[in-house]
Amino acid sequence: MPEDVDDAAEAGPPLEAPVELTLDILRHSAAHLMAAAVCELFPGTQYDVGPSIEDGFFYNFLLPEDRHLTDGDLVAIEARMGQLVKRHVPYQREVLPRDEARRLFDGMGQEFKVAIIDRLAPDVSSVSVYRTGDFVDLCRGPHVPDSGVLRAVKLLRVAGVYWRGDERNPQLQRVYGTAWFSPADLDAYLERIAEAERRDHRRLGRELELFHLDDTAPGMPYWLPNGVIVLNELLSFSRREHRARGYKEIIAPLINDKRLWETSGHWDHYRENMFIVPVDEQTSYGVKPMNCPNAHVVYNLRRHSYRELPLRYLQLDTLHRFERSGTLHGLLRVRKFQQDDAHVFVTEEQIEAEYDRILEITDHFYRIFGLDYSFRLGTRPDDFIGDIETWDRAEGALLRILERRAGAGGFTVDPGEGAFYGPKVDILMKDAIGRSWQTGTIQLDFQLPRRFGCEYIDASGQARTPVVIHRAIYGSFERFLGVLIEHFAGQLPLWLAAVQVEVVPVQDDVEAVMDCARSVVERLEAAELRAAVSDSPGNRMQARIRDAELRKVPYVVVVGKRDVERGDDVVTLRDTRRGGTEQRSVPDLIALLADEVASRRPS
RNA sequence: GCCGACGUAGCUCAGUGGUAGAGCAGCGGUUUCGUAAACCGCUGGCCGGGAGUUCGAAUCUCCCCGUCGGCUCCA
C-alpha cells in the first residue's frame, strides 16, 4: 500500500551514510527541495510524505487557510527551487531521540510528521531528520550532499490525494515532478512521454475511426465500422477457441429483477456500481454488471451429474457498470463493455486441473500478440461473503497453483483485493505510458453456488455444491483492444486490420487500370481478405499511398498502365509496416496474405 | 465523487473585453502523374450548456455537462 511505502521513505531507524548517487536519492532530494520551496512560498504549509517514484517524485501538502495550489503556483515553486539549486544548499543530517523529534515537529505544527513518528514500531528509539536551509524533514535518507546537483528537475502536475490513501480522510494536494542526472536525460524523458501520446489509443481510435465516445454516453463507446471489424475478429476468435476447449456459449438478459441481485449478493455489495432501472412502483431491475448470476440460473434449470463437470458456460454479453465519473479513461475504463467471460462449474477436486486448463488458454491468447503479462493474487476483502475458513481454503489453492505455474517470484499478492465472493488471480498489462491495467481475471468462488442452491449428484448419489470459477482471459474486449492499439501503435496484426489491402491505381482515368484494380480487389475478397480500391478521385498515387499509410493499412498494391500493358498479372506490393516494395503475382500475393492472416502473426 | 487543468469548424490549434481566424479534412474545378501530400477556388462556428457583470463577453464571475492528469474505486 502506498502509505506504507511512503512511511518507509520518511521514517524508521536511520539509514547509514549513502554510497553513490542514484536516481532514487536524487529524486528523493528533489522532493525535499520542492517542499522547502513550497514552505517558503506558503508559510504554514503542512507537509506529509514525499518519496521518489518511478521516473520522478512527489510530495503531499496541506496549505494553510484552505488554499489550493494551481498550475501557476508550480511555476513559482519551480523558480524558487532553481534559486535554491544555485545556492548549493547543503542537506544536513541529524539523528535525534524519538521523543525529541516528536517535540520538534509538534512545535512546528507538523501534525503529519508527528503522526508518522507515532506510527513507528515501538523498538525505534531514534530517528533522523534532514535540514535543507530552514526546511527540516523527518527522513531516513540518504540524500545528495547539497542542492547543486539538482539541475534537471521539472514539476509536472498537481493532484488531490486522500491522506493515507483513504477517501474518508481529508484531501491533501500532491505535486508530481521528475528529476534526472542531466538536462539531456530530462529531455529524453519528455520525448518518451510525447511518443507515448502518439500511441494513445484515444487519439488512434479517432484517427483510424475505430470508436467514438460521445458526451451523451460517457464511458459507453460507439463502435464505428472499422472498430466493429476488429472487435468481431476478436469475438469470433474467442468463440472458436473456447468452443474447441469444451465451452458452451449462453446468452442471457441484460436486465434482471433486483431479486436476482439480492440472491447473488450484488444488491448488497455491488449496487453502487450498477445502473438501476425502475419498472413500476414495486419493481426495480438491475442492469447486469457481471454475468455470473445468470450462469447460475442456467445451471439450475436441471439436475446435474458429477459426470457433466466441469461445465463451462461462455458468456460474451454486454455489461454495464456505473463507474465514478472521474475514473473513466477511453477504452481502458468504460461503463459499457463485453468480456470473454465464462463460468465453470467444477467439483472441489477439479479446481487445480481446471485452473491449469485456463492458464493454458491464457498463455495461448496472449502469446498470439507477443504480449507480456503478469499475475496478481487478490485475497479476501473487508466486504466479503461466506466464512473465513472457506476463503482460506480457496486462497491456499490459488497460491499453490500460482507457485507451481509462475514460480514463487512470478506473481504479486494484493491483500484485500479479491472479489466479494472469492479470491482472484488477475492478469495485468501496461499501457503506452506504463500504467498497469487489469485485463484477464480468474476467480475462485465457493459462495455464489451456495447462495443459488446449485447442486450436482456425486458418484455415491449424494447432492453436493459445485465450486464456480469465474474467468475472463482478455477481460473486457474494450480494455484489451485499448491496450492492443497502444502496444502496436495502431498497426494491428493483419488478421485484425479493418482494411488489410488497399489497391491504388496510378491513373484513375484509364478504364483498363481501374478495371484491373477492381479485379484485384475482387480476387482478394474471394480469398476472404478485406480489400478496397483506394477512394480519392483525382488524387495522385503518392497521395493515395500516404493516405493508406496514415490509416495504417498493412498492405498497399499499386497497379498502373505498365502492369496492364505487360499483362502478366504481376503487381507491386508495398508493406507499410516493415517498409519496402516487391513485385508479386496476384495468386502469390493472395497466398502470402492468407498465410499471414491464418498464422495471426503480430506483424 | 475529490484536487488541478481544459472545452473555439470534422481534426489540430491561434484569438484574453470592441465585426470569429489558420492548416488539414470536405465540396467544386483543373491535372492523370509509378511508391508518404499536384494546383486554384469555395463551403463550414448558438466559441460545451445556462445564468450573471458590462454600452458591449469566445474573453470576466457563478452553476451545470464533458474531457485530460492524478486520488479513491476497478475489467
Q: Is A6 a residue whose pLDDT tops 80?
A: no
> What does the buried/exposed string (b/e) look like for A377-416 if buried means 16 or more CB atoms within 10 Å of the residue's CB?
bbbbeeebbbeeeebeebbebbbebbeebeeeeebeeeee
Computed over every residue of chain A, the mean pLDDT equals: 91
- Please state whether the peptide bond connecting residue A310 to the residue before it is cis, i.e. omega within 30 degrees of 0: yes
Q: Examine the residue annotation and report whether A292 is marked as an active-site residue of this protein.
A: yes
Q: ipTM of the predicted structure? A: 0.93
pLDDT of residue A16: 53
Note the pLDDT tens digit of each residue in A462-518.
999 999 999 999 999 999 999 999 999 999 999 999 999 999 999 999 999 999 999
- Angle at CA A385, nearest 5°, toward A380 and A388? 55
Instruction: Please list, in sequence order, all residues whose beta carbon lies within 8 angstroms of the beta carbon of residue A293, skipping any fewer than 6 positions away.
Output: A256, A260, A261, A263, A264, A266, A448, A452
Residue A396 phi/psi, 5-degree rounding, is -60, -40
What is the identity of the amino acid at A150? L
Cα–Cα distance for residue pair A85/A37, rounded to 1 Å: 11
Q: Would the CA dihedral through A279, A254, A330, A551 be positive or negative?
A: negative
pLDDT of residue A476: 95
- Angle at CA A402, nearest 5°, toward A398 and A403? 120
Q: What is the DSSP letter of A69?
A: -
Region of poorest pLDDT, from A63-67, A253-257, A274-278, A316-320: A63-67
Note the pLDDT tens digit of each residue in A562-579.
999 998 999 999 999 988
A339 touches strand B (CB under 7 A): yes
pLDDT of residue A101: 92
Identified catalytic residue from A173, A315, A338, A339: A339
Share of chain A above pLDDT 90, in %: 75
Note the pLDDT tens digit of each residue in A397-416.
889 989 988 887 789 999 88
Residues lying close to strand B (Cβ under 7 A), chosen from 309-328 of chain A, are: 321, 323-328
pLDDT band for A390, please (50, 70, 90 cuts): confident
- Chain B nucleotides reached by a protein CB under 7 Å: 1-5, 7, 11-12, 26, 29-38, 65-75
What is the identity of the amino acid at A473? I
Please state, in angstroms and as integers, the Cα–Cα distance from residue A170 to each residue in A144, A165, A166, A570, following that order. 32, 10, 8, 71
Q: In terms of DSSP H, where are the helices of A212-343?
A: 225-243, 258-264, 266-269, 292-299
Note the pLDDT tens digit of each residue in A36-56.
999 999 999 999 999 999 889
How many Cα atoms within 13 Å fall on the side-chain side of residue A394? Answer: 28
With 0-12 CB in 10 A as exposed, 13-18 as middle and 19+ as buried, what is A348?
Answer: middle
CA of A540 to C1' of B29 (A): 16
**Cell of residue A335, nine digits:** 461503463
Cα–Cα distance for residue pair A33/A57, rounded to 1 Å: 11
What is the identity of the amino acid at A506? V
Identified catalytic residue from A32, A173, A258, A292: A292
Q: Examine the residue annotation and report whether A139 is marked as an active-site residue of this protein.
A: no
Cα–Cα distance for residue pair A9/A3, rounded to 1 Å: 10
CA of A542 to C1' of B34 (A): 9
Identified catalytic residue from A6, A340, A341, A426: A341
Please state, in angstroms and as integers, the Cα–Cα distance from residue A229 to each residue in A74, A226, A466, A564, A595, following that order. 45, 5, 38, 32, 19
Instruction: Please list, in sequence order, all residues whose beta carbon lies within 8 angstroms of the beta carbon of residue A148, skipping any fewer than 6 positions away.
Output: A85, A86, A88
With 0-12 CB in 10 A as exposed, 13-18 as middle and 19+ as buried, what is A188?
Answer: exposed
Q: Which of A467, A167, A166, A442 is nearest to A296 (CA)?
A: A467
A540 touches strand B (CB under 7 A): yes
Identified catalytic residue from A140, A321, A380, A479: A321
Which residue is listed with cell 488478421? Answer: A495
Q: Which of A322, A339, A341, A335 is nearest to A222 (CA)?
A: A335
Residues lying close to strand B (Cβ under 7 A), chosen from 25-84 of chain A, are: 68-72
Cα–Cα distance for residue pair A541/A551, rounded to 1 Å: 15
CA of A427 to C1' of B26 (A): 44
pLDDT of residue A13: 52
A433 touches strand B (CB under 7 A): yes
